[in-house]
Amino acid sequence: MINKNNKSGITLIALVITIIVILILAGITINSGTDLIKKSKLESLMTNMITIKANAKIYAEEINAKVWDLQDAEKKTKRAELFSETYNMESDTESISKINDPTINDSNGCEAYKINKTTLEKMGLSELASISEDGEFVVVYNSKDFNKLEIVYPSGINYNDSTCWTLSELKDKLNE
């Protein structure tokens, strides 16, 4: 008698092991893909904040050229008026009071201005303007040296279990 027991198929154990390996690989891929998407969104936000900073420097130079001959007491008021009229940027001290950065506060001579959608469009950031709210970004100038400015995101940006408030903090976190 001839034994016709053919053993040339996949066993159930081999199939289960293969499925487990595929699931592990899929989990690793999805996790790293999610991290990459999150990091790319943060880098996009950082790029927009850098663009805002570049434009804000230009705006500051233009405004300072108009107020350079005024007395110090008049400069802050006139600057706030010019920022509002020229660039639709309203003075904002509330946003910087929430931030625990000793270099960004009123006592250091900092002036803060909210950026609205119209201002973002003037800066060439129409796409960002369409998805953001007025005051979502704030420019903080040091009134003694307007080249020292910071872009603040008052809502905060969560990254690696910490919250970043400023462009500088975000740059530091992404470079870790």
Is 146 inside a domain boundary?
yes
> What is the per-residue pLDDT across 21-41, written as a single tens digit (0 to 9) for each?
999 999 888 888 888 888 888
Is 2 inside a domain boundary?
no
Q: Mean pLDDT, to the nearest integer, of 75-96?
A: 85
Structural domain count, the chain: 1
Domain that holds residue 155: 13-174
Is 130 inside a domain boundary?
yes
Is 26 inside a domain boundary?
yes
Tokens of 22: 């595929």
Residues 2-30 as b/e (b if ≥16 CB within 10 A, e otherwise) read: eeeeeeeeeeeeeeeeeeeeeeeeeeeee
Comparing 12-21, 41-50, 55-64, 107-116, the range with the smallest average pLDDT is 107-116
Is 5 inside a domain boundary?
no
Would the pLDDT of 145 be above 80? no
Is 68 inside a domain boundary?
yes
Provide the pLDDT for residue 54.
92
